[in-house]
């Protein structure tokens, strides 16, 4: 179930963020303010602003795939230098494209692989623990907080924009 | 991987919400206001308030487990009648206890089971689609939005309160 979560669903959620950002741009235009103002908005003075929330959502998805497939050295680098809506949309699309380079077989040993990162100072999680207790809650935290910042600022988006289309069968 | 997500992780996240609500109560006491005021707070006039966010988080976890195990008729009923912090904490604990009644074998056929609910008017998702594209993003949406409402109102909580403890190995 790792590929459907980390590749199919994470790329879907980043795509939903692109849709939500387009709605934010329409809102800003109709209210005659610069949409980039929204990228500086935050819910609390000591919480990340919208730009940083999206950057971290991108990194969470990118590094979850890269680490679970043991291909971290191949992951695209991003310098967190975006300042405009167009630039952060490009980064979202770049990560979506990167996710689509993975195949199901890349995750064959992922659940048991030991995963670590520099800030954990030598400690590690199993791939399954990393996915379920770290990557998933972090990805959704930053996507939902991005949504919440825009919602709080009056952008007309709804839960369906966040969830995206569902593959219902009759 | 269904049990570790829907039972272990969802009950952990509801437990993290209990911890966060206790910090909200401490904050309210130190600022000398009634903590129940926070339960009415929301980020936008037409978005659910904190109480409703927690109620929906509870229902999302409860019904994900019940539907995936084909035991929806046995799930505990909740009338959405809570008005106080103590009452919504009791509901969170009640759902955590309910989740712990499931066993791994209850989800043996869950990924392929067709899942539906009244509002879908006869349409359905596979268990795997329901889990990955509906239950997971909804659970994290309502937990993160609860966190965001409290953070926006000055409660001193951090990302670690949201994530909870991680099972690192040296």
Mean per-residue pLDDT, A57-67: 98
Contact B169 A124 (CB under 8 A): yes
Q: Check: CB of residue A118 under 8 Å from CB of residue B147.
A: no
Give the residue on B whose Cα is nearest the Cα of A167. Answer: B125
Would you give per-residue pLDDT tens digits along chain B (170 residues)?
999 999 999 999 999 999 999 999 999 999 999 999 999 999 999 999 999 999 999 999 999 999 999 999 999 999 999 999 999 999 999 999 999 999 999 999 999 999 999 899 999 999 999 999 999 999 999 999 999 999 999 999 999 999 999 999 98
Residue B29: Cβ-neighbour burial (10 angstroms; 0-12, 13-18, 19+): exposed
Does any domain span residue A86?
A: yes
Shortest distance, CA B167 to any CA of chain A (angstroms): 7
Does any domain span residue B170?
A: no
Give the residue on B whose Cα is nearest the Cα of A114. Answer: B169
Across the strands, what pairs with A124?
B169
Q: Note the pLDDT tens digit of each residue in A78-88.
A: 999 999 999 99
Q: Check: CB of residue A100 under 8 Å from CB of residue A110.
A: no
To which residue do tokens 């996507």 refer? Answer: A143
pLDDT band at A76 (very low <50, low <70, confident <90, very high): very high
- pTM of full prediction above 0.95: yes
Does any domain span residue A113?
A: yes
Contact B168 A1 (CB under 8 A): no
Q: Is A12 left (phi over 0), alpha (psi -120 to 50) or beta?
A: alpha
Judged by a CB distance cut-off of 8 A, whether residue B158 touches chain A is: no
- Distance (Å, whole) CA A77 – CA B132: 28
Does any domain span residue A108?
A: yes
Shortest distance, CA B43 to any CA of chain A (angstroms): 5
Does any domain span residue A169?
A: no
Shortest distance, CA A118 to any CA of chain B (angstroms): 13
To which residue do tokens 């689509």 refer? Answer: A100
Q: Which of B94, B107, B75, B77 is nearest to B7 (CA)?
A: B107
Chain A partners within 8 Å of B2 (Cβ): 1
Q: Note the pLDDT tens digit of each residue in A101-149.
A: 999 999 999 999 999 999 999 999 999 999 999 999 999 999 999 999 9
Mean per-residue pLDDT, A22-44: 97
In this prediction, residue A68 carries a pLDDT of 98
Average pLDDT in chain A:
97
- Distance (Å, whole) CA B141 – CA B57: 8
In this prediction, residue B106 carries a pLDDT of 98
In this prediction, residue B139 carries a pLDDT of 98
Q: Which of B159, B128, B68 is nearest to A9 (CA)?
A: B128
Surface of B (29-68) touching A: CB under 8 A: 43-44, 47
To which residue do tokens 């959620």 refer? Answer: A13
* ipTM, interface predicted TM-score of the complex: 0.97
Geometric angle at alpha carbon A125, from A119 and A126, rounded to 5°: 150
- Distance (Å, whole) CA B154 – CA A4: 37
CATH number, domain with residue A130: 1.20.120.450
Give me the number of domains chain A comprises.
Answer: 1
- The dihedral through the CA atoms of B136, A166, B47, B159 has a sign that is positive
- Return the structure tokens found at B135: 């239950």
Does any domain span residue B168?
A: no
- Return the structure tokens found at A35: 């949409």
Q: Which domain holds residue B56?
A: 2-162
SS3 content of chain B, % helix, strand, coil (to 5): 65, 5, 30
pLDDT band at A1 (very low <50, low <70, confident <90, very high): very high
Give the residue on B whose Cα is nearest the Cα of A125. Answer: B168
Contact A129 B167 (CB under 8 A): yes
Does any domain span residue B46?
A: yes
Surface of B (85-124) touching A: CB under 8 A: 111, 114, 120, 122-124
């Amino acid at each position: 179930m790792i590929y459907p979560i980390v590749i199919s669903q994470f790329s879907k959620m980043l795509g939903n963020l692109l849709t939500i950002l387009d709605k934010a741009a329409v809102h800003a235009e109709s209210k005659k303010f610069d949409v980039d103002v929204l990228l500086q908005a935050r819910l609390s003075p000591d919480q990340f602003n919208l730009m940083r929330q999206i950057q971290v959502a991108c990194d969470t998805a990118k590094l979850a795939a890269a680490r679970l497939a043991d291909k971290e050295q191949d992951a695209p680098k991003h310098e967190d230098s975006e300042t405009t809506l167009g630039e952060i949309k490009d980064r979202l699309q770049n990560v979506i494209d990167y996710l689509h380079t993975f195949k199901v077989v890349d995750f064959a040993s992922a659940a048991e692989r030991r995963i670590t990162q520099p800030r954990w100072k030598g400690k590690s999680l199993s791939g399954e623990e990393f996915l379920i207790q770290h990557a998933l809650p972090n990805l959704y935290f930053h996507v939902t907080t991005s949504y919440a910042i825009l919602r709080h600022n009056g952008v007309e988006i709804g839960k369906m924009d966040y969830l995206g289309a569902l593959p219902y069968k009759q």
